[in-house]
Amino acid sequence: MIFKRLFCGMAWLIILPVLAFGQEIQLRESEKGIDFVFEDKILLRYQTAMAPVPEGVDAQFSKSGFIHPIYSPSGQELTRIQPPDHYHHYGVWGPWTRTLVEGREVDFWNLGDGQGRVDFDRLLASREHAEYAQIVARQNHIDLLAPNGPQVAIEEDLGIRVWNVQDKRYAVDYITEISTPLSSPVVLDAYRYGGGIGFRATARWGTANSQIMTSGGDDRKTADGSFAKWVMVYGESDDPSGQSGILFLSHPNNRAHPEPMRVWPEEDYDGVGNVFVEFCPIRHEAWEIQPGKTNILKYRMIVFDGKLSAEEAEAYWIEFAKY
């Protein structure tokens, strides 16, 4: 289980020193999901309930098992769900797109196609600690096309650990372990998006008021299809500094690291509310999930207000790479 293998005894305290007593993150359950709360303010929510769709939208776009909202330390909402251009986009999430399950093509990403979906199943573990709070959730990738009715094709244990806020920043560890309960392999076919960790940014951000920077020196014009250790997405906000963002880190043990990127072009959707970024480990090469074998992908997000330099981003990645 992730909780025992990945979350116990990790020495992650160098970049995030212990805060004073009374400033600890708490877990609070609500009708929607599990909130990570710091000083009575929600930092993020993991959604366990099915999110209702807007009026007139097909109910199959309803979904659970994603992170939204994510707030910056000053309370800026940085994620978005169910945008009219892509009702299947859900904050921070990572369904696989082109897969082969028992010889059938199943799409877990595009909910409107009715082939597959990923939803919360149950909570496996939770913990509150002086420096962080964490959960491990089981998410089921459900094949809706199976001849004998819907079946679980991939079991995913998603670990989320949120560290205490310090210096207008906090870290979120996002660790996903996938396996198949089926007797035959599930093939995650090569495609330009799907899996890994995806981010649909706030509707406020568009081409004119947000930026993307990668470890390879790419910006939004050149990042799509490139390979990166980290990617920083930031833009205009109501923080006193005028800016907030998220730095995404990919662990060096991840498949296809440095990982291929999917980044929407600047001209998409007339440059308005059009920020989407993803680490996509299967962009250029398929991945076969063998029965009886677990596969792990590790990511970390640094959520911040103000400026975060490329040098600081590299330092965060170097520290993350040590475990």
pTM, entire model: 0.94
Band of the pLDDT at 20, cuts 50, 70, 90? Answer: very low
* pLDDT in the model for residue 22: 42
Confidence of residue 2 (pLDDT cuts 50, 70, 90): very low
pLDDT tens sequence across 65-118: 999 999 999 999 999 999 999 999 999 999 999 999 999 999 999 999 999 999
Average pLDDT of 204-225?
98
- C-alpha 323/C-alpha 36 separation (Å) is 24
* Under 8 Å between Cβ of 177 and 2: yes
pLDDT of residue 323: 82
pLDDT band of residue 206 (cuts 50, 70, 90) is very high
Q: Give yes or no for a contact between 135 and 126, defined as CB atoms under 8 angstroms apart.
A: yes
CB 136 within 8 A of CB 124: yes
312 has pLDDT over 90: yes
310, 243 contact by CB (below 8 A): no
Query: Is the pLDDT higher at 21 or at 85?
Result: 85
The residues, any chain, with a CB within 8 Å of residue 106's CB and separated by 6 or more, are 99, 100, 115, 116, 143, 144, 145, 153
Residue count of the chain: 323
pLDDT of residue 1: 41
Q: The domain at 26-321 falls in which architecture?
A: Distorted Sandwich (2.70)
How far apart, in whole angstroms, are the C-alpha atoms of residue 225 and residue 111? Answer: 24
Average pLDDT over every residue of 160-184: 97
Query: Distance between CA 113 and CA 39 in Å, rounded?
Result: 42
What is the rounded average pLDDT for all residues in the chain?
A: 94
- Where on the phi/psi map is residue 80: left (φ > 0), alpha (ψ -120 to 50), or beta? beta
